[in-house]
Amino acid sequence: MSTAAALDADAPTPRPKPSTAGGHAEPERADTTAWLGVIAGAIGSLMATLDISIVNASLPTIQGEIGASASEGTWVATAYLVAEIIVIPLTGWLERVFGLRRFLLVAAVLFTGFSILCGTSNSLTMMIIGRIGQGFTGGAMIPTAMTIIATRLPRSQQPIGTALFGSTVILGPVLGPVVGGWLTETFSWHYAFFVNVPICAGLIALLLVGLPDQEMELDELLSADWLGILGMALGLGGLTVVLEEGHREQWFQSTMIWQLTAVTILGFVLIGVGQLTAKKPVIKLALLRNRAFAAVFLLALIIGAVLYGVSYVIPQFLAAIADYNALQAGKVVFLSGVPALMMMPLIPVLLRAIDLRVAVGLGFVVMALSCWLDASLTAQSTGGAFTETQLLRGFGQVLGMMFLNQAAISSVAMEDAGDASGLFNAARNLGGSIGLALLATVQDSRLDFHHWTLHSSLQANDPAVQAYVQAQAAQFGGGPEGLAAAYRAIDLSILRDALVMAFNDEFFLLAIGIIAVLPLVLLLKPLPKGQINMAMH
């Protein structure tokens, strides 16, 4: 993601400047090594987003083998997400300190090592350490992918790189359950982590060839906004854990949630102090005072909630109602990635031709429509019920994600593009955490509501109800035992219907959330005709 028109002369990996009087014109096509660097960035970004959800399919198996309870096992996913959310806003600063190539090489090597640690884990502690390490090193590869595009491609070819990057961000979360499910079913859960080793080896080779070396700027360590960095770790980390674990811990009935909330508040206070006192804050939160960028930030929260929320709700529904295994459910989730693959060749043209406000608005309307259509599921629904809506949702996500990325950069000054990029990517992941927490809470509360509402609608004195109960009891052999079995069967049937209604409420809530933020599209700042913005840290 980079700056609007031209790159600064002191950019770490400069490209030839556009032609001036008597000068040389900017090359229209990048060379092979530049494209190798872009491919490396895309692979790194795909791995980082893929590893968020790749363990979901094998989580029950992992829990059993490392001796973790169901609630403890959720930390296998949470630890990665917490670390990733913390590091994304810090990536621009880390790039400046160590240089882009060196920084990514270290991240790729460490990501490989932490993946091996996860794959060989025999305890929950060992697994969580590995997942935290994966999150920190993998998360660094997401915003840097767009920096590579900005610095290695001429502006005429940047839309192609942008399309490639956007597809990886969308495909990662939906491809994870399929890949993880297949590896677990075919081999074992260990390969959900070991698969990163050969990919990282190729990634390291591409980085060595495709990116030029840069000098480190270690003096940045002395002038760094250390209060802001500490606050980012405490604030974003604490908030993510509260959102992820709050539902399971009964929110503020838990001492742990109170303690984490205090840590979160302390973290945000430190960030605020850093914003006021640091010569160069680690990330410029003052950008949120800009109405256009604040609108982008809120829209990114919603698109993250939809992207990660739907990837959570659909497998839950298919497992509980349609008795799908993880791989079958993963294939249904992956359907939303098909439009990203099909539209990738068109995205460079669309970015130049369509007003971003129109594109984002259309994308959000389509996503809302898909969620509204999914709010009419029945107890007989299977994966086929999601085919059309997943394709619609994928189309909407492509438009929303790609054009929001452009809106984030166009809404700020050229020198703030890197900070805007970091905040945009962090907002998407944070929106995913908020969405998952809300959906889990809604599911439980609405399940209880519908369960008892359906029960209360059955009148014990109704002759039809009495006849149905007697018929059921007879099928179970009659007598007191048959009657008790009939009551249990009826309650299970009611519970099943209540669960379907709760899932419908979740999709309806997502649709309402999307519609609620739709007016913010009017605040977005359009790009000049034919211009593509890229963010460079």
Q: Above 60 in pLDDT, residue 6?
A: no
Q: Above 90 in pLDDT, residue 111?
A: yes
Collect contacts of 110-113 with beta carbons under 8 A, ≥24 apart. 110/136, 110/137, 111/47, 111/137, 111/138, 111/141, 111/196, 111/200, 112/196, 112/197, 112/200, 112/201
Identify the pLDDT of residue 1: 41
Q: Compute the average pLDDT of residues 260-287.
A: 85
Residue 532's pLDDT band, with cuts at 50, 70 and 90, is low
Residue 533's pLDDT band, with cuts at 50, 70 and 90, is low
CA dihedral 39, 42, 44, 50 (to 10 degrees): -140
Identify the pLDDT of residue 299: 94
Strand partners, 2: 534, 535
Higher pLDDT, 306 or 411: 306
pLDDT digits (tens, 9 = 90+) for 314-352: 888 888 888 887 778 888 888 888 888 888 778 778 877
pLDDT digits (tens, 9 = 90+) for 425-463: 888 878 887 887 788 788 888 888 888 888 777 766 667
Please report, for residues 286, 295, 357, 518, the alpha-carbon distance to residue 521 in angstroms, rounded to integers and kept in the order given.
Answer: 21, 7, 6, 6
- Whether domain 289-537 has CATH 1.20.1250.20: yes
Across 49-58, 59-68, 442-451, which has the greatest mean pLDDT? 442-451
DSSP assignment string, 254-267: SHHHHHHHHHHHHH
Please report, for residues 391, 505, 512, the alpha-carbon distance to residue 517 in angstroms, rounded to integers and kept in the order given.
Answer: 22, 19, 9
Q: What is the rounded average pLDDT for all residues in the chain?
A: 81
Q: Compute the average pLDDT of residues 394-412.
A: 84
The percentage of the chain sitting over the pLDDT mark of 70, rounded to a whole number, equals 89
Identify the pLDDT of residue 13: 41
Identify the pLDDT of residue 113: 94
Identify the pLDDT of residue 70: 60
Q: Compute the average pLDDT of residues 235-239.
A: 83
Model pTM score: 0.78
The percentage of the chain sitting over the pLDDT mark of 90, rounded to a whole number, equals 22
The DSSP 8-state label assigned to residue 24 in this structure reads: P
**Helices first, then strands: H and E counts in the chain:** 23, 0
Identify the pLDDT of residue 129: 92
Identify the pLDDT of residue 57: 67
pLDDT digits (tens, 9 = 90+) for 458-512: 766 667 766 777 777 777 677 777 777 777 777 788 888 999 999 999 999 999 9
Q: Compute the average pLDDT of residues 192-214.
A: 89
Identify the pLDDT of residue 531: 58
Residue 519's pLDDT band, with cuts at 50, 70 and 90, is very high
Q: Above 50 in pLDDT, residue 414?
A: yes
Q: Is 535 helix (H, G, I), strand (E, B) or coil?
A: strand
Residue 17's pLDDT band, with cuts at 50, 70 and 90, is very low
Identify the pLDDT of residue 460: 65
Higher pLDDT, 55 or 446: 446
Identify the pLDDT of residue 5: 37
CA triplet 520, 522, 525: central angle to 5 degrees?
105
The DSSP 8-state label assigned to residue 412 in this structure reads: S
Distance from C-alpha of 63 to C-alpha of 72, rounded to nearest angstrom: 8
CB 240 within 8 A of CB 82: yes
Distance from C-alpha of 92 to C-alpha of 147, rounded to nearest angstrom: 9
318 burial (CB, 10 Å; 0-12 / 13-18 / 19+) is buried
1-16+30-222 has which CATH code? 1.20.1250.20
Identify the pLDDT of residue 408: 80
Q: Above 70 in pLDDT, residue 71?
A: no
Please report, for residues 44, 449, 469, the alpha-carbon distance to residue 491 in angstroms, rounded to integers and kept in the order given.
Answer: 49, 14, 11
Identify the pLDDT of residue 12: 40
Identify the pLDDT of residue 535: 53
DSSP assignment string, 70-126: HHHHTHHHHHHHHHHHHHGGGHHHHHHHH-HHHHHHHHHHHHHHHHHHHHT--SHHH
Please report, for residues 270, 286, 434, the alpha-carbon distance to residue 275 in angstroms, rounded to integers and kept in the order given.
Answer: 9, 8, 25
Distance from C-alpha of 302 to C-alpha of 148, rounded to nearest angstrom: 27
Q: Compute the average pLDDT of residues 27-43.
A: 83
Q: What are the sequence ranges of the domains in the chain?
A: 1-16+30-222, 225-281, 289-537
pLDDT digits (tens, 9 = 90+) for 357-390: 999 999 999 999 999 999 999 999 999 999 999 9
Fold match, 1-16+30-222 / 289-537: yes
Identify the pLDDT of residue 20: 39
The residue among 188, 66, 50, 76 whose CA lies nearest residue 130 is 76
CB 11 within 8 A of CB 151: yes
